[in-house]
Amino acid sequence: MDIVVCIKQVPETTDIGWNPETGTLMREEAGGILNPHDKHALEAGLRLRETHGGFVTALSMGPPQAEDALREALSMGVDRAILLSDGLFAGADTLSTSYALSLALKKIARFDLILCGKESSDGMTAQVGPQLAELLNLPQLTYATEMTINGNSVQIRQKMEDGFRTVETCLPALITMEREINQPRIPTMDSIMEAYRDKETEIWGGEDLGGAKGHFGLKGSPTQTRKVYSKKIKKGEVTILEGGPDEVARELIGILRQKDLL
């Protein structure tokens, strides 16, 4: 089974600045980590390989320092790592990112399954996975908390707002992952050494992907950020209710109703 896992490097902290002109994150200011949801997607891919055999490729787009996220994927055990990195891609929104990833996947050509984290911890749009499936004209199953391969089909347990449902589709397909799906492995010390000393990360630019240059980066991004600001959180007063449990519960319900919260 050939699996491609799409991963992203995200800022290590939420304390990161914005470029006031472009409205994009100033990623170079913060240290980068592998997006937490993507780790679960990698783990899912590696477990499928262990069960069914095959080949796992990690694919990412970002500035050169995003290579660290791919080195982490290599240390977890993926077979191949590809970074899409080119000035052309800078400032990409989710659509432009999906476009570049879709071209890379067409270039990779052989895959049965594309796995993505549900969302990135910085943008939190949860759009790239679904957009990528549309651009590749593939079926998509999202928010997976369990995943099973049955012959030429894949079944997942999908997390809904108010419960779960089981859905199935044929391969090839794209699946996005919830954290509940697994516990990602911790890379061993020797696998980290191999990832940095013995393995290669391929770097692909715009020329390698082909496609329409106008669809890459900021130019290819229909999302225009007008204003970016940090949400101010006002701290309210704390009221401690005293008395027995029944009495306190009644009083709390009364207060919530007064504030139209119930």
Run of H or E residues at 250: helix 245-258
- By CB under 8 A, name the one of 124, 170, 186, 252 that touches other proteins: 186
Q: Pull the structure tokens for residue 188.
A: 């061993």
| Segment contacting other proteins by CB under 8 A, of 121-129, 139-147, 192-200, 227-235 | 192-200
- By CB under 8 A, name the one of 40, 49, 71, 118 that touches other proteins: 71
| Segment contacting other proteins by CB under 8 A, of 54-62, 140-148, 181-189, 247-255 | 181-189
Q: What angle do CA 83, 79, 3 make, to 5 degrees?
A: 85
How many Cβ atoms sit within 10 Å of the Cβ of residue 217? 21
| Segment contacting other proteins by CB under 8 A, of 42-50, 80-88, 166-174, 180-188 | 180-188
How many Å separate Cα 58 from the centre of its chain? 12
How far CA 224 is from CA of 14, 22, 170, 219, 227, in Å, comes to 22, 8, 36, 10, 9
For other proteins, how many residues bind (rule: CB under 8 A)? 16
How many Å separate Cα 66 from the centre of its chain? 14
* Nearest alpha carbon to residue 143 among 115, 170, 122, 121: 115
Given the complex with other proteins, which of 58 and 136 has the nearer CB atom? 58
Asked whether position 189 contacts other proteins by CB under 8 A, the answer is: yes
Site for other proteins in 40-69 (CB under 8 A): 68
Run of H or E residues at 70: helix 67-76
Is residue 45 within 8 A of residue 115, CB to CB? The reply is: yes
| Minimum gap (Å) between residue 77 Cβ and other proteins | 13
Asked whether position 77 contacts other proteins by CB under 8 A, the answer is: no
Given the complex with other proteins, which of 43 and 93 has the nearer CB atom? 43
Asked whether position 75 contacts other proteins by CB under 8 A, the answer is: yes
| Minimum gap (Å) between residue 199 Cβ and other proteins | 12
| Minimum gap (Å) between residue 197 Cβ and other proteins | 7
Asked whether position 121 contacts other proteins by CB under 8 A, the answer is: no
Asked whether position 190 contacts other proteins by CB under 8 A, the answer is: yes
The DSSP result for 96-151, as a single string, is HHHHHHHHHHHHH---SEEEEES--TTT----HHHHHHHHHT--EEEEEEEEEEET
CA 195/CA 127 separation, integer angstroms:
30
| Segment contacting other proteins by CB under 8 A, of 186-194, 210-218, 239-247, 248-256 | 186-194
Interface positions with other proteins (CB under 8 A) = 68, 71-72, 75, 183, 186-193, 195-197
